[in-house]
Amino acid sequence: MSNENTLSNNENDVSYLEYKGKHSGILGWLLSTDHKRIGLLYLISLSVFLIVGVTFGFLMRLELLTPGRTIMDPQTYNSIFTLHGVIMIFLFVVPGLPAVFGNFFLPILIGARDVAFPRLNLLSWYLYAVGGLLAILSILLPGGPADTGWTFYIPYSVRTNTNVIPALFAAFILGFSSILTGVNFVTTVHRMRAPGMDWFKMPLSVWSLYATAWVQILATPIIGITLLLVAVERIFGVGLFDPALGGDPVLYQHLFWIYSHPAVYIMILPAMGVVSEIIPVFAHRTIFGYRFIAMSSIAIALFGSLVWAHHMFTAGMSDTGQLIFSLLTMIVAIPSAIKVFNWVATLYKGSIDLQPPMLYVLAFIFQFSIGGLTGVMQGVLSVDIQVHDTSFIVAHFHYVMFGGTGFGFFAALHYWFPKMFGKMYNIKLAKRVFWAMFVGFNTLYFPMFIMGWLGMPRRYYDYLPEYQIYHVISTIGSWILVPALFLMFGNFIYALFKGAKVTEKNVWGGETLEWQIATPPVHENFIDIPIVTESPYQYKDNELVLQTQEAK
Amino acid sequence: MENHSKNHSHNQHGYGVYFLVWLALMALTGITVAVAGINFGRITVATALTIASIKTYLVLTIFMHLRSESKTFRVFVGVALLFLIISFVLLFTDYSFIVRN
Amino acid sequence: MFDGVSNFSQSTDLAFFFTLVVSIFFLVLITVLMIYFVIKYNRKRNPKATNVHHNTALEVTWTVIPTVLVLIMFWLGWTGYLEQSRIPANALTIEVTAQMWKWSFKYPNGKETDSLYVPVNKDVVLNLHSIDVNHAFYVPKFRIKKDVYPNQKRSAWFNATETGSYDIACAEYCGLNHSYMYNKITVMSENEFNAWLNSPAKHPGEILASDTSLIKLPDSAK
Amino acid sequence: MSIQHTAAAHIHRDDVASRMGMWLFLFTELLLFGGMFILYSVYRFTHPQDFHLAAKELNTVIGTFNTAILLTSSLTMALSIAAIQRRQKTLSIIFQLITILLAFGFMVNKYFEWGAKFHHGIYPGSDTLLSKPSGEILFFGLYYVMTGLHGLHVIIGVVIIAFMTVFTLRDVITHDNYVKLEAAGLYWHLVDIIWIFLFPLFYLIT
Ligand code: HEA
Ligand code: HEA
Ligand code: CUA
Ligand SMILES: [Cu+2]
């Protein structure tokens, strides 16, 4: 369990950044079981992988600028989009928000001193690190990086001579890291809420992290075993998926998507939680439809596990299968719709302050809606037959993963940065960078919808000249994103060292627990465990206005 | 919130109960082997799986103390099993209606 | 945008059009509302917010309307798909073989080609085989796409409605030259087609795919 | 949100949380095997005849014997917890040791069983196997992978229980703090449950 309670309150009073535990220096971080420090370990390692992944994305865009060879050969291109996908999915968006902000803020938001299993928490970071290193190793080993796409479809993944096995094991280990985070969060939410915090007094981000954690626990093992079997298939040739030995490659796809579809909700749910957290703060009013938002998280987690085969509409499933999975895909859109409408309704009669986190959140709603609505279009059978495996899909998932989760991540970073580090970044610059990101992002991905519908397949090194115009626009978009992303990181790094000090507890005027404690938080968050008496996002003074108005 | 203070679970069964459960498990194993020899046609698998489920139920409730844990635990187990069962059912919406090989 | 030239293009394009209109409607609705609220209830203009907790009637409305709409979308897609999945009898049947990284087509009379020739306004059934890994037979203008697997059977069919020459692409990642697995499908009048099919010599217009290679293979890929 | 502060909230041990965490982890194990049961069910459904034939090659007697061993080891595991609850430390240790012994017995049996198969040339990629119809290849593929993974879990279980024995000896596990032993027990019972399904599905197809 948590650290022994031998520390006097005074020692406990110091900020978690300065706290001296058993170890000092770098070891004080690498061996710390403090959830906040682990959150930061994740933040640093995740950012590194994000930059690697993003660089690959940037290089792909350069290659696609002109038809034929631009800067690399096809083999390199194939490896790069595989690595880009693997890194972005398994090392960035899936762990993303839960591992960084979930670790840092979940215990604080429910009034606890740490997560339920702090040592397990540290272990999960180490697993993450090992998985990441293995992924990097697969690039460096002789044989060359895997070139299968992040989906590792059989039989190609059994036939190719590249380093598929290290990549598979990397994904397997990362899966376990994700599972441990899930186990920790479910237990923490059940057992460690502060007195008085019943389920419907929990902040909405806790609801979404809770729902996410369940998906992590239940879905991840399936991909674990599936990827393991691909490795077994490669090494021993047992034939479980290999059609040459009687296996069914479509069954591989089923198993892969049984995890990987729910995984997209692992990615988006925590970001939705962040959005639900930020909107009331910057609209300075209570959230609209608290229960509906909370329950829709559960509904998404639930229905999310029922639609996996919509990735296989051209694979030759039975008609019954097509019918059921298309129908269920339509249904899964509804809880997301409920969320979006409630968020927009929360702006109504608010007092809106467009600070950087809020800008990112509004962009999230816009971009997630585009991504989600095109997702629904893909769920429509005849349409999906046309757009499956084209850049329409590529546009869809970048809109939800980057435009949604990515922007949610950036929103969270701008929102909680002052609390985490006690420093403030340059707000004016942050706003400008936001606009560059927004414009760059949409320029980069929107053209992909058009060329996808027209018939530009994905995972294409080369293309017909008629698609060039869209590729050029898209690549230009990536050039706008480059400086923007650089500047955003730059702004944060500068703020860390030279930024204005923040000691104020509540910079944005939030009402959740993290804004009631010291900035940056003390070692065990709370000197005294709070007793919670009210729901979050009350903004009581607004209520008074309402009553006096009505009285008039 | 679930009751917080109880560390000492009431997960206490007498030795006798465990022995009885063990006897039942062994008996069920015997039955399933014996029955396997008889051909029930289509329900052969069903019989085997039913017996296995009964055995599992015994292990879960008594050996694993699920009976004396709080309700939350039972809901958890239900959720996990449901997820697995739904995956089976949905998968067979594909496989029941098609021959690919 | 809606320039499909097969019997499926109408239903597919209709489904696409309907979903697109609904999507644009909701996107515009949401965006306009957001911008309007941000301006109207800006902190400067509206320093004091008013709490509105929830409104069950509203929640029900915005649950039910999208539900109905997505069910309509589903129906459009499903009927369109069913058409594609019912393989017609009495059609011209062509055996299609996919391999890394080319297609080959075998006609009932034994003739084999690298690019596909079909008569206009006639049902054509393609039996798809692969001899190595997964590929997918994709004709964007026909709105058809079907994955091709080794050791498994798949079929696709279409009825081309306009003569001309269209692209065939491989839409399932299949390794190094996946993007070069391009070819052409030529739709001709019935007479022209029959003449072509029965002439032992190559049709004057026929060229082997390896010559056409829409995109020149880079040396490294050969 | 308004907050009132309480004095001196101390962090205390929470065994329920520990058990909850263990159960959640067990679900992941369950689903790990669940994925393979999915494979099994599909292939059995698509190749009923071949599965039927292939299953005849497995030795029902060894299978039944191993089932009995594993069920008994589950019993002794449960008993060791009952013993520690009653402050019977020595008895608890004895039960744990019996559990480990039984697990070894199980593995030895498995060794001979696999060995016999290998001897007959039935192993993944072997010529004998490859000459059989695809359903049989799949059956034996599943057989090796599933029982192999299960065997791996048995070995892990042995290591864990061995640690528990040391903990009990050193009084880390005592009559009022035995949640570690309980967790190990949960794990062991899960391994047992998996086998309860593997047994009829592989050995008893008629
Ligand atoms: C964060 C990740 C994320 C999220 C949240 C989603 C969300 C959704 N996705 Fe997406 N998807 C991916 C990541 C994600 N997806 C990835 C990575 C792939 C490709 C994988 C690969 O092949 O490599 C993919 C592929 C993919 C496919 C397969 C396409 C193909 O390959 O042929 C389909 C098909 O149905 C689909 C559907 C959906 C749907 C219906 C949703 C829904 O959940 C969306 C719900 C949201 C909304 C609907 C918008 C908000 C609501 C409103 C604005 C109200 C009005 C709404 C209506 C009237 C409907 N997705
Ligand atoms: C969260 C997930 C995520 C994110 C954030 C991104 C981000 C980007 N992705 Fe994406 N992408 C995926 C997940 C993601 N991607 C997945 C899963 C696939 C599928 C893979 C598969 O098919 O298997 C994919 C596939 C994919 C393709 C399709 C490849 C193909 O099918 O042929 C393309 C093509 O343009 C692309 C481009 C980009 C670009 C330009 C970015 C941009 O974000 C990049 C924006 C940033 C910058 C442009 C630069 C910032 C740069 C730095 C900070 C370092 C600077 C270094 C230098 C300038 C040298 N990605
Ligand atoms: Cu063939 Cu891609
Ligand atoms: Cu999906």
Dihedral Cα A282, A285, A287, A289, nearest 10 deg: -150
C69 pocket-lining for ligand 1 (C-beta < 6 Å)? yes
Hey, what are C35's tokens?
């911008």
Hey, what are A368's tokens?
């997630």
Burial letters for A327-357: b for 16+ Cβ neighbours within 10 Å, e otherwise? Answer: bbbbbbbbbbbbbbbbbbbbbbbbbbbebbb
Q: Where are the domains of chain D?
A: 46-203
Q: Given phi > 0 = left and psi -120 to 50 = alpha, else beta, which region is C143? A: left
HEC-encoded secondary structure of D150-171: HHHHHHHHHHHHHHHHHHHHCC
C181 pocket-lining for ligand 3 (C-beta < 6 Å)? yes
> Closest-CA residue in chain D for B70?
D16
Determine the Cα–Cα distance for residues A534 and B1; give it in Å rounded to an integer: 15
Using the predicted structure, report yes or no on whether residue A2 has a pLDDT greater than 50.
Answer: no
Instruction: Using an 8 Å CB-CB cutoff, list chain D residues near A113.
Output: 11
Using the predicted structure, report yes or no on whether residue B4 has a pLDDT greater than 60.
Answer: no
Q: Which CATH class is domain D46-203?
A: mainly alpha
- pLDDT band with cut points at 50, 70 and 90 for residue A482: confident
* Ligand 2 centroid distance, CA of A394 (Å): 10
Determine the Cα–Cα distance for residues D94 and D104; give it in Å rounded to an integer: 15
- pLDDT band with cut points at 50, 70 and 90 for residue A176: very high
Determine the Cα–Cα distance for residues C12 and C79; give it in Å rounded to an integer: 10
Residue owning the nearest CA to atom 2 of ligand 2: A88
Report if residue A209 sits inside a domain: yes
Q: What is the mean pLDDT of residues A85-112?
A: 93
CB of C151 within 8 Å of any CB in chain B? yes
Q: What is the pLDDT of residue A519?
A: 84
Instruction: Using an 8 Å CB-CB cutoff, list chain B residues near C152.
Output: 100-101
Q: What is the mean pLDDT of residues B70-80?
A: 93
Q: What is the pLDDT of residue A545?
A: 53
Q: Which amino acid, one-letter code, is at A102?
A: G
Q: What is the mean pLDDT of residues A355-375?
A: 96
Q: What is the pLDDT of residue B41?
A: 67
- pLDDT band with cut points at 50, 70 and 90 for residue A53: very high
Greater pLDDT, A22 or A486: A486
Report if residue A550 sits inside a domain: no
Determine the Cα–Cα distance for residues C127 and C105; give it in Å rounded to an integer: 10
A86 pocket-lining for ligand 1 (C-beta < 6 Å)? no
Q: Where are the domains of chain C?
A: 9-85, 92-221
Instruction: Using an 8 Å CB-CB cutoff, list chain C residues near A383.
Output: 12, 15-16, 19, 77
- Domain C92-221 listed as CATH 2.60.40.10: no
Q: Which ligand is nearest the CA of A457, by number?
A: 2
Determine the Cα–Cα distance for residues C32 and D51; give it in Å rounded to an integer: 61
CB of D17 within 8 Å of any CB in chain B? no
> What is the percentage of chain B residues whose pLDDT exceeds 90?
52
Q: Which amino acid, one-letter code, is at A147?
A: D
> Which 3 state secondary structure label does DSSP give A355?
coil
Orientation of helix A204-236 relative to helix B71-95, angle to 10°? 50
Dihedral sign for Cα B84, B90, B91, B97, please. Answer: positive
CB of B87 within 8 Å of any CB in chain A? yes
CA distance D2 to chain A (A): 7
CA distance C196 to chain A (A): 28
Using the predicted structure, report yes or no on whether residue A547 has a pLDDT greater than 80.
Answer: no
Parent domain of A450 = 21-545
A369 pocket-lining for ligand 1 (C-beta < 6 Å)? yes
Q: Which amino acid, one-letter code, is at A266?
A: I
Q: Which amino acid, one-letter code, is at A376?
A: V
Determine the Cα–Cα distance for residues A244 and B101; give it in Å rounded to an integer: 11
Q: Which CATH class is domain C9-85?
A: mainly alpha
Q: What string of DSSP letters covers A401-430?
A: IIIIIIHHHHHHHHHHHHHHHSEE--HHHH
Q: What is the mean pLDDT of residues A115-127?
A: 94
Contact by Cβ (8 Å): A107, A35:
yes
> Closest-CA residue in chain C for B100?
C152
- Chains sharing 3 or more CB pairs under 8 A with chain B: A, C, D
Contact by Cβ (8 Å): D179, B69:
no
C-alpha distances (whole Å) from A467 to each of A405, A460, A461 are 28, 12, 13
Q: What is the pLDDT of residue A530?
A: 87
Chain C residues 47-66 with a CB less than 8 Å from chain B: none
For residue D48, whether the previous peptide bond is cis, meaning omega lies within 30 degrees of 0, is no
* Non-local CB neighbours of A383 within 8 Å, separated by 6+ positions: A377, C12, C15, C16, C19, C77
Report if residue A399 sits inside a domain: yes
Burial letters for C179-197: b for 16+ Cβ neighbours within 10 Å, e otherwise? Answer: bbbbbbbbbbeeebbeebb
> What is the percentage of chain A residues whose pLDDT exceeds 70?
96
A84 pocket-lining for ligand 1 (C-beta < 6 Å)? no
Contact by Cβ (8 Å): D139, D51:
yes
Report if residue A16 sits inside a domain: no
* Ligand 4 centroid distance, CA of A52 (Å): 25
Determine the Cα–Cα distance for residues A437 and D120; give it in Å rounded to an integer: 65
Determine the Cα–Cα distance for residues A179 and A225; give it in Å rounded to an integer: 13
* Ligand 2 centroid distance, CA of A259 (Å): 22
Q: What is the mean pLDDT of residues A213-222?
A: 93
Q: What is the mean pLDDT of residues A82-99?
A: 93
Write the ipTM: 0.92
Q: What string of DSSP letters covers chain D?
A: --EEEPS-------HHHHHHHHHHHHHHHHHHHHHHHHHHHHHHHH-HHHHHHHHTTS-HHHHHHHHHHHHHHHHHHHHHHHHHHTT-HHHHHHHHHHHHHHHHHHHHHHHHHHHHHHHTT-STT-HHHHTS-HHHHHHHHHHHHHHHHHHHHHHHHHHHHHHHHHHHHTTSSBTTB-HHHHHHHHHHHHHHHHHHHHHHHHH---
Report if residue A1 sits inside a domain: no
- Chains sharing 3 or more CB pairs under 8 A with chain D: A, B
Report if residue A332 sits inside a domain: yes
β-pairing, C144-148 with C135-139?
A: antiparallel
> Which 3 state secondary structure label does DSSP give A333?
helix
Determine the Cα–Cα distance for residues D57 and A97; give it in Å rounded to an integer: 51
Q: Starting at the earlier edge strand, list the strands of the sheet with C92-99.
A: C112-113, C102-106, C92-99, C123-130, C154-159
Using the predicted structure, report yes or no on whether residue B1 has a pLDDT greater than 50.
Answer: no
* Non-local CB neighbours of A504 within 8 Å, separated by 6+ positions: A519
Determine the Cα–Cα distance for residues A373 and A494; give it in Å rounded to an integer: 38
Q: Give backbone dihedrals phi and psi of A389, rounded to 5 degrees, phi first.
A: 55, 30
Hey, what are D177's tokens?
């703090």
- pLDDT band with cut points at 50, 70 and 90 for residue A544: low
C-alpha of A143 from chain center: 31
Q: Which of A22-31, A138-147, A200-209, A324-333 has the lowest mean pLDDT?
A: A22-31
Q: What is the mean pLDDT of residues A116-143?
A: 92
Contact by Cβ (8 Å): A266, A334:
no
* Ligand 1 centroid distance, CA of A375 (Å): 3
Contact by Cβ (8 Å): A312, A329:
no
Residue owning the nearest CA to atom 1 of ligand 3: C135
- Does A149 sit within 8 Å of C70, measured CB to CB? no
Question: How confident is the model over A184-208, as pLDDT tens digits?
Answer: 999 999 999 999 899 999 999 999 9
Total domains in the fold of chain A: 1
Q: What is the pLDDT of residue D176?
A: 85
Output the average pLDDT for chain A. Answer: 90
> Which 3 state secondary structure label does DSSP give C157?
strand
* Ligand 3 centroid distance, CA of A268 (Å): 31
Q: What is the mean pLDDT of residues A373-385?
A: 95
Q: What is the pLDDT of residue A30?
A: 87
Question: How confident is the model over A261-285, as pLDDT tens digits?
Answer: 999 999 999 999 999 999 999 999 9
Determine the Cα–Cα distance for residues A412 and A101; give it in Å rounded to an integer: 8
For residue C101, whether the previous peptide bond is cis, meaning omega lies within 30 degrees of 0, is yes
Cβ neighbour number for residue A220 with a 10 Å cutoff: 28
Instruction: Using an 8 Å CB-CB cutoff, list chain B residues near A250.
Output: 94, 100
Maximum alpha-carbon separation in chain C: 86
Output the tens digit of pLDDT for each of chain C's 222 residues. Answer: 677 889 999 999 999 999 999 999 999 999 999 999 999 999 888 888 888 888 889 999 999 999 999 999 999 999 999 999 999 988 999 999 999 889 999 999 888 888 899 999 999 999 999 999 999 999 999 999 999 999 898 999 999 999 999 999 999 999 999 999 989 999 999 999 998 888 765 544 454 444 444 444 444 433
Instruction: Using an 8 Å CB-CB cutoff, list chain B residues near A332.
Output: none
Q: What is the mean pLDDT of residues A209-230?
A: 93
Residues lower than pLDDT 50 in chain D: 1-10
* Ligand 2 centroid distance, CA of B71 (Å): 46
> Closest-CA residue in chain C for B101?
C152
Q: Is residue A441 within a helix (H) or strand (E), and if so which, with residue range?
A: helix A427-454
- Distant-in-sequence contacts of C209-214, Cβ < 8 A, 24+ apart: C209/C102, C209/C103, C209/C114, C209/C115, C209/C183, C209/C184, C210/C102, C210/C114, C212/C115, C212/C183, C212/C184, C213/C180, C213/C182, C214/A464, C214/C167, C214/C182, C214/C183, C214/C184
Q: What is the pLDDT of residue A548?
A: 52
Hey, what are B73's tokens?
């635990």
> Which 3 state secondary structure label does DSSP give C113?
strand
- pLDDT band with cut points at 50, 70 and 90 for residue B43: confident
Residue owning the nearest CA to atom 51 of ligand 1: A337
Report if residue A6 sits inside a domain: no
